[in-house]
């Protein structure tokens, strides 16, 4: 089984084509492959399969084996992979992920993809749909108590849940401790991604991300989108801003059509082949 290691600003994935055979225990394979000591090492497994609503679909399994509903960085990675390997021939195409269909626009330099813009769709702000427990509401600048600490949170879903907290200096935040406590708080019945964001200007923000099922990552595309939306809702950001993450910057825009657009690069690192023993282990159900 062939694989390709790719990343979007350091948010890295093991990419595998699985066009016809879907008998694999993919959560177990993700845990094996993503281990940074005993596997290839990655934040997630990006699985490219035949689509039902479009030609191809993307499935993302986090490092812990859980399946993600949405991932902006993985969508950009998949866009580069599909175009450069001839699966698609157009610079604008649609890609299926879970029950959503996303439009990708590729920026080309010759026959190579230098950047990808993803139409991430409209943000989900209703608490029940994010989901956030409690009465129906928009969760904007709401107080949350966790482990004796108090945070002001804004909750947004970009197809996956996010909890955005504006902070004076995210670099000093004990992200693993606070992020894991917030991720698993009862307020979030499906857990949540957590972003600590420092507003630098109305068009620029610095962010650190604790991803659900992964931990701290160098970048998060859906998280960058959630931060922009939260910034607009709190009157801190304009509708177009540069989102600085540890792995680099993404451009996010919440346009008049109501959709959020995410733009940034994707990179390929190397390809390889899995040993047959690992594939056989992943076919087991335990």
Q: Which residues are catalytic?
A: 71, 220
**Cβ-contact 121, 260 below 8 angstroms:** yes
> Two tokens at 131?
């989901």
Q: How far apart are CA 188 and CA 133, in angstroms?
A: 6
Residue 267 is encoded by which pair of tokens? 């990179």
Cα torsion for 173, 157, 29, 99, to the nearest 10°? -170
Q: Between vectors from CA 70 to CA 64 and to CA 73, what angle results, nearest 5°?
A: 85
Contact 142, 154 (CB under 8 A): yes
Which segments of 140-220 does DSSP mark as H helices, in order?
A: 175-183
Q: CA-to-CA distance for 182 and 185, rounded, in angstroms?
A: 5
Answer yes or no: are the C-beta atoms of 73 and 211 closer than 8 Å. Answer: no
In the block, tokens 């991720």 appear at 183
DSSP state of 191: -
């Amino acid at each position: 089984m062939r694989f390709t290691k790719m990343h979007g600003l350091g948010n890295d994935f093991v990419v595998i084509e699985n066009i016809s055979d879907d008998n694999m225990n993919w959560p177990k394979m993700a845990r094996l492959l993503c281990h940074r000591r005993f596997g290839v090492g990655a934040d997630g497994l990006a699985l490219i399969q035949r689509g039902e609503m479009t030609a191809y679909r993307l499935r993302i399994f986090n490092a812990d084996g859980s399946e993600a509903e949405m991932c902006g960085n993985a969508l950009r990675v998949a866009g580069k992979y599909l175009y450069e390997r001839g699966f698609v021939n157009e610079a604008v195409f649609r890609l299926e992920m879970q029950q959503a269909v996303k439009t990708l626009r590729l920026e080309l330099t010759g026959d190579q993809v230098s950047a990808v813009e993803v139409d991430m769709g409209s943000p989900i702000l209703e608490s029940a749909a994010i989901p956030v427990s409690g009465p129906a509401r928009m969760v904007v600048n709401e107080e949350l108590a966790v482990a004796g600490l108090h945070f002001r949170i804004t909750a947004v879903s970009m197809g996956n849940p996010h909890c955005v907290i504006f902070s004076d200096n995210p670099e000093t935040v004990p992200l693993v401790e606070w992020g894991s406590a917030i991720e698993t708080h009862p307020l979030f019945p499906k857990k949540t991604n957590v972003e600590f964001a420092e507003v630098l200007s109305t068009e620029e923000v610095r962010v650190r991300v604790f991803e659900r099922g992964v931990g701290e990552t160098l970048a998060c595309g859906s998280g960058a989108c959630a931060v922009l939306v939260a910034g607009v809702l709190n009157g801190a950001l304009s509708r177009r801003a540069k989102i600085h993450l540890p792995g680099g910057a993404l451009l996010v825009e919440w346009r008049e059509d109501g959709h959020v657009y995410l733009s940034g690069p994707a990179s390929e690192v190397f390809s390889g082949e899995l040993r047959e023993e690992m594939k056989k282990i992943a076919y087991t159900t335990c």
